[in-house]
Chain A
Amino acid sequence: MEFAELIKTPRVDNVVLHRPFYPAVEGTLCLTGHHLILSSRQDNTEELWLLHSNIDAIDKRFVGPLGTIIVKCKDFRIIQLDIPGMEECLNIASSIEALSTLDSITLMYPFFYRPMFEVIEDGWHSFLPEQEFELYSSATSEWRLSYVNKEFAVCPSYPPIVIVPKSIDDEALRKVATFRHGGRFPILSYYHKKNGMVIMRSGQPLTGTNGRRCKEDEKLINATLRAGKRGYIIDTRSLNVAQQARAKGGGFEQEAHYPQWRRIHKSIERYHILQESLIKLVEACNDQTHNMDRWLSKLESSNWLTHIKEILTTACLAAQCIDREGASILIHGTEGTDSTLQVTSLAQIILEPRSRTIRGFEALIEREWLQAGHPFQQRCAQSAYCNSKQKWESPVFLLFLDCVWQILRQFPCSFEFNENFLIMLFEHSYASQFGTFLGNNESERCKLKLQQKTMSLWSWVNRPSELSKFTNPLFEANNLVIWPSVAPQSLQLWEGIFLRWNRSSKYLDEAYEEMVNIIDYNKELQAKVNILRRQLAELETEDGIQESP
């Protein structure tokens, strides 16, 4: 298929662009295969350069011969294009609609994008499972790498290499896989070096209504327990939901068969409930009527912050089991690809200082989201403005990022990255020139040959010039476990995401700049003082040598 077929009108002159907080700009609108571009043809004027894949929905309306297209983006921005001529407007609108809903992944921009920067480090190889495992292997010999899923035959949503207890062989893993939803047998998610406790994750056990059991499964998870120790299974569904799952062949671990494990049910919402929550929240944030009461009521009824609180609370509970109770845990919901990953990754943010660094956080996303098989392609297909309401669309990853932001807000000096880093990840998970978030799991990414055909987001982000934008000037390595407050008073709406296009951030940006200046100046002085000290020391030893005889 040629993009040209979809582009009915490639160019319209005298189009007026309206954006929040900018004066209207008149210019020429161009459609390319992947971008919507508006150029005013004046130097120093900002132009619109929008990926079609970032467009969530469009509305069009007409007043006489003047057509207007409202473009609603997946990053929640809303822009307006006034296009003279009804036919041009209709053509543009239908072209945008077609181009923003391409159904073939290989037509997406990452397959066409040619980077304009020099690749210093290929991001596709930055976080290899073997390297990640080395970080643990120095501390424990109880775990091993298994290649049982090399051909994605045992579990289609797992990566080829996983970490499992040393005492469990691949044959047993195959058996366990048949007992777990989607073949997702329990694997290591996190090893807490401080006390050797671990977080494992999996899909739900397929106990069904007649209480099927699997000796290998029991053996596998028991293999992670120290003698005489008990562990916790955190089920991210309510007991009721978990019980209902049995009718569909799913279920939960029966006490009788897992006597060394205590099961805790924490309800985290999924799928369309989260999507609806996002839609309501964004709607409330876009409503500019100045009435205080309506705002709070809309914020409340979106339930977004309730979801944040539930997820954070469960993550804190998991971290608490590990660090305070000294107990290992297994986490799963139904598939083990959504709420499970929110909890395992947030627990690591709390427990593990490394995951609060830029590199460590990237590794966490690679490990706990991409390789763990969070279906980004499905979940991030549409955002808050779309009416399609597909069951699999859900802002699971955005909720995770929001939770990280909440912790960052409470511990502003303990993260190496800043809010912009999180916003950037949100943007790229929905629309990107990079291949990192394409596909639903490693298997799909392999088939798409993303490593060969697209550029990794990390190749771009980890260049010094980009990193400086995402580095938190307040960061000072903090080796402690950080416990966030989950009280409603401590949780806030993430303005940087949700009010980003609805309020001017000028004064907050200025404050950030001021903060950077204060710290940079301090560092500059520090360096100067050090140089002078060294000079002085040298001069003085020279003096000393001269004097001593």
Chain B
Amino acid sequence: MEHIRTPKVENVRLVDRISSKKAALGTLYLTATHVIFVENATDTRKETWILHSQISTIEKQATTATGCPLLIRCKNFQLLQLIIPQERDCHDVYISLIRLTRPVKYEELYCFSFNPKLDKEEREQGWMLIDLSEEYKRMGLPNNYWQLSDVNRDYRVCDSYPTELYVPKSATAHIIVGSSKFRSRRRFPALSYYYKDNHASICRSSQPLSGFSARCLEDEQMLQAIRKANPGSDFIYVVDTRPKLNAMANRAAGKGYENEDNYSNIKFQFIGIENIHVMRNSLQKMLEVCELKSPSMSDFLWGLENSGWLRHIKAIMDAGLFIAKAVSEEGASVLVHCSDGWDRTAQVCSVASLLLDPHYRTLQGFMVLIEKDWISFGHKFNHRYGNLDGDPKEISPVIDQFIECVWQLMEQFPCAFEFNERFLIHIQHHIYSCQFGNFLCNSQKERRELKIQERTYSLWAHLWKNRADYLNPLFRADHSQTRGTLPLSTTPCNFMYKFWSGMYNRFEKGLQPRQSVTDYLMAVKEETQQLEEELEALEERLEKIQKVQLNHSKVKSKPSEPSKHSGFSTSDNSAANTPQDYCGNIKSFPSRSPSQGDEDSALILTQDNLKSSDPDLSANSDQESGVEDLSCRSPSGGECAPSEDSGKDRDSDEAVFLTA
């Protein structure tokens, strides 16, 4: 609280990014956790809530006649432009936000004050939803080749690794410890994924400290042990996910990569994924393109190409494909590393797992995957996503890229995933929101020390509770696309990678398709379910009545029964038979109406914000669905709309098409 210089500023304007002419007048509030903008317009009182932890940059722009503009960029790709009348107020807000958005202690983060009103037991259960030991069991471990090792008990060997790790049975503690000494940050080779069908595995580690000539017997034995754990193959792949040049440069610093001559039966392979700095700049460039005001097609495509973003996404996917093919088609085990083995390695291992194992394409399986390859293996969430004030050079959209890879796959295999796009978007949102404890800190060790599970809530439980919002209607457990390994034979071509407008322009609803097929189909499926139930009930009743009629005298003795039944049945009728009911209680039909071009996108935008950062989590669950989507199930409400859109501001619309 002491950081808030001014808790409230009046007569602030929130500028609509698409049409600069329009701005909503309202009051700006600063709280310990949120920036809140409440519009003055008495009929709506629209609220925009932004969590401090979502804010990535605050920019104070040159004062103009109308006031002092403040530009707030968020990590979930929201962009807010405020105009504050007094320079002094603007400065105060700016200074306050600078401090508020850069917490120095974990305890300042929202998850420590966030209270979804669950009791202790519910919270504990929430943390138990995703259980990695269960996951290794599901893979078929332990078995004759792999065992759970306690070598890292109390994080004695490697402090960024979890305590529970699977290693080859033949790898003794001596070998592991020896190998760990020869690896950056002691991140020795450990199991990431075991492919039951043919015993091949994906292991991960950091780079070896080979320099120009150094060797380590134990490390060589460790790789041998991995190979032996797969009786079906006489070699293993060692995949270095860095560009060769980067890896060679590391040799000068006493690090580097495996020398094929020193390790028996390995096939060494570079796969050039760029480092976190290149990726950070690439995203920055792409976001600049997204921020352009009415860009031409050439501006956009040129900017997108120039950012290199899709090229990087493709590189990660190609690496995942290479590994998945090695495992499933060649039956060979793969050891993956980059430098420290916590960024590119996490991306590539999880993409490969997702391609190989349909379980990871389910809702729960996807949570497990993130828990396994990202959270437990010490992906540095705090550094990469800037939760606490830190070195800006450590920040990089590593997991964002993984999430996008999943989306790109979903676009190519629309029936293969149990979850939908909204699920990915909400996970991305919460990686930055710090509303739940899952993604705090840089390692399991830190999280345990901070007693995260006792003091915060788990995102997984929250997503699971609202899973109905995240289902892909096209997913069927017995569909060919959902079974087994995704077909890898068709190498994805360059033109298969598309700009993900649903993520990077997600707050500009005007740019998105105005009707959601996913939500439409979910509504149909829901209705189908109701119909199934009704059908059953009707059949039962029909049977009963027919019996009763056969035995006519009995009917007379119970005259009240039929009428009671028919009362039930009519009410049921109306619920099941008229799709209109799906939007009957949705007031905001106009959101799908023509006006979407401008004005309404602002409306949706603020409603979204309100929900997305609403401390009340239940509201948060349908950040994206809500008004727009449900109403599309039945446009019959359209009668009311013409009056709505006739009241629109014309100038703004014109501006869009005239300037475009």
Q: A292-B311, A530-B577, A536-B569 are in contact. Are A515 and B538 (CB under 8 A)?
A: no
1/0 per position for B363-384, CB-CB distance to A under 8 A? 0000000000000000000000
* A168 at interface by CB-CB < 8 Å: no
A295–B493 Cα distance when bound, in Å, is 10
- Contact between A492 and B569 (Cβ–Cβ < 8 Å)? no
Find B514's partner among A411, A488, A521, A542 (CB 8 Å cutoff).
A411
A306 and B498: CB pair below 8 A? Answer: no
- Cβ-defined partner of B642 (8 Å) among A480, A521, A525: A480
Query: Which of B99-107, B111-119, B217-225, B505-513 lies on the face that meets chain A?
Result: B505-513
Contact A525 B511 (CB under 8 A): no
Determine if A492 and B498 form an interchain contact, defined as CB atoms under 8 angstroms apart.
yes
Interface window among B38-46, B152-160, B526-534: B526-534
- Distance of A325 from chain B, by nearest CB (Å): 6
Question: Chain A interface: which of B251-259, B296-304, B463-471?
Answer: B296-304
Find B311's partner among A293, A323, A479, A533 (CB 8 Å cutoff). A293
Q: Is the CB of B415 within 8 A of A291?
A: no
Q: A411-B515, A474-B517, A529-B576 are in contact. Are A486 and B495 (CB under 8 A)?
A: no
Chain B residues closer than 8 Å to A288, beta-carbon distance = 493
Q: Per-residue 0/1 for B555-572: is the Cβ within 8 Å of any A Cβ (1 yes, 0 no)?
A: 110010010011001000
Across-interface contacts of B546 in A (CB, < 8 A): 539
Q: Which of B489-524 contact A (CB under 8 A)?
A: 490-491, 493-499, 501, 505, 508, 510-515, 517, 520-521, 524
The complex places the Cα of A293 from the Cα of B555 at a distance, in Å, of 78
Contact between B493 and A503, CB atoms less than 8 A apart: yes
Segment touching B, from A103-111, A309-317, A438-446: A309-317
8 A Cβ contacts from A392-424 to B = 409-414
Give chain B's interface secondary structure class: helix
Please encode chain B, from 293 to 317, with 1 for each CB lying within 8 Å of some chain A CB and 0 for all others. Answer: 0111111111011001011001000
Min distance, Cβ B272 to any Cβ of chain A, angstroms: 13
Assess A292 versus B314: contact at CB under 8 Å? Given A480-B642, A511-B414: yes
Question: Are the C-beta atoms of B635 and A476 separated by less than 8 Å?
Answer: yes
Give Cα A474–Cα B562 distance, bound, in whole angstroms.
Answer: 38
Closest B residue to A542 by CB, please name it: B549
Interface segment out of the listed A65-73, A296-304, A330-338, A358-366 = A296-304
Tell me whether B520 and A474 are in contact (CB under 8 A).
yes
The answer to whether A483 and B595 have CB atoms under 8 Å apart is yes
Report Cα–Cα, A476/B579, bound state, in Å.
11
B residues in contact with A480, CB < 8 Å: 592-594, 635, 638, 641-642, 645
Asked whether A507 lies within 8 Å of B635 as measured between CB atoms, the reply is no
* Bound CA–CA A323/B653 (angstroms): 11
Which of B340-348, B437-445, B449-457, B476-484 interfaces with chain A? Answer: B476-484
A522→B530 CA distance, assembly (Å): 10
A4-28: which residues lie under 8 A (CB-CB) from chain B? none
A478-B638, A515-B521 known; A535-B542 Cβ under 8 A: yes
Cα distance A143–B658 when bound, in Å? Answer: 31
CA distance A544 to B501 in the complex (A): 60
Most buried by A among B290, B301, B527: B301
**Which residues of chain A have C-beta atoms less than 8 A from B532's C-beta?**
525
Residues of B within 8 A of A305 (CB): 297, 301
Quick one: closest A residue to B646, CB to CB? A324
B201 at the binding interface (Cβ < 8 Å):
no
- The yes or no answer to A491 lying at the interface (CB within 8 A) is yes
Verify if A171 is at the interface (C-beta below 8 Å from B). Answer: no
Most chain B beta-carbon neighbours within 10 Å: one of A502, A503, A507, A508: A507
Asked if B596 lies at the interface with its beta carbon under 8 angstroms from chain A, I say yes
Scoring A488, A528, A539, A540 by chain B CB atoms within 10 A of each residue's CB, the highest score goes to A488
Of A294, A297, A325, A413, most B-chain CB atoms within 10 Å: A413
Report the Cα distance A526→B531, complex, angstroms: 7
Query: When the two chains form their complex, are residues A412 and B481 in contact, meaning their CB atoms are under 8 A apart?
Result: no
Encoded as 1 (CB less than 8 Å from any B CB) or 0, chain A from 264 to 294 comes to 1000000000000000000001001111111
Chain B residues closer than 8 Å to A526, beta-carbon distance: 531, 577
Q: Is the CB of A300 within 8 A of B297?
A: yes
Known: A292-B497, A299-B301, A489-B511. A507 touches B642 (CB 8 A): no
Is B660 touching A518 in the complex (CB atoms < 8 A)? Answer: no
Closest to B495 in A: A295
Given contacts A306-B297, A529-B535, contact A296 B305 (CB under 8 A): yes
Interface magnitude class on chain B:
35 or more
Contacts of B499 in A (CB 8 A): 489
On whether A510 and B415 interact (CB within 8 A), knowing A476-B634, A481-B645, A487-B294, the answer reads yes
The contact of B538 among A296, A488, A532, A546, by CB within 8 Å, is A532
- CB neighbours of B639 from chain A (8 A): 479
A178 interface residue per 8 A CB criterion: no
Q: For residue B562, which residues in chain A have a CB less than 8 angstroms away from its CB?
A: 540, 543-544
Which residues of B have CB within 8 Å of A518?
473-474, 521, 524-525, 528
**Chain A 44-68 near chain B by CB (<8 Å), digits 1 or 0:** 0000000000000000000000000
CB-based contact A300/B305 at 8 Å: yes
Given A317-B658, A529-B577: A324 in contact with B653 (beta carbons within 8 A): yes
Alpha-carbon distance between A413 and B515 when the two chains are bound, in angstroms: 7
A274→B413 CA distance, assembly (Å): 33
Contacts of B108 in A (CB 8 A): none
B300, closest chain A residue (CB): A488
In chain A between 107 and 166, which residues have their CB closer than 8 angstroms to a CB of chain B? none
Contacts of A515 in B (CB 8 A): 474, 517, 521
> Does B552 make an interface contact (CB < 8 A)?
yes
Q: A290-B491, A292-B311, A503-B493 known; A483 and B596 CB under 8 Å?
A: yes
How distant is A543 from chain B, measured CB to nearest CB, in Å? Answer: 5
- Residues in B whose Cβ lies below 8 Å from that of A314: 657
Q: Does B597 contact A (CB under 8 A)?
A: yes
Asked if A306 and B298 make an inter-chain contact with CB atoms under 8 angstroms apart, the answer reads yes
**Closest approach, in angstroms, between the C-beta of B561 and any C-beta of chain A?**
10
Interface flags for A186-200 (1: CB within 8 Å of B; 0: not) read 000000001000000
| B660 and A486 contact, CB distance less than 8 A | yes
In the complex, what residues of B have CB within 8 A of residue A544's CB?
A: 562
A508 to B549, CA, bound (A): 52
Residue B131 at the chain A interface, CB threshold 8 Å: no
Q: Which 9 A-B pairs have the closest CB atoms?
A: A488-B300, A511-B414, A296-B305, A300-B301, A292-B311, A295-B494, A525-B531, A478-B635, A532-B538
13 contacts between A and B (CB under 8 A): A303-B297, A306-B296, A325-B650, A478-B635, A483-B594, A487-B511, A492-B498, A508-B414, A511-B415, A518-B473, A519-B524, A522-B525, A537-B566
Known contacts A480-B592, A532-B538, then 19 further A-B pairs from the complex at CB < 8 Å, ordered by chain A residue = A288-B493, A289-B494, A291-B494, A293-B308, A294-B494, A309-B297, A313-B660, A413-B515, A414-B515, A474-B517, A480-B594, A488-B295, A490-B513, A502-B495, A507-B487, A515-B521, A536-B569, A537-B566, A540-B562
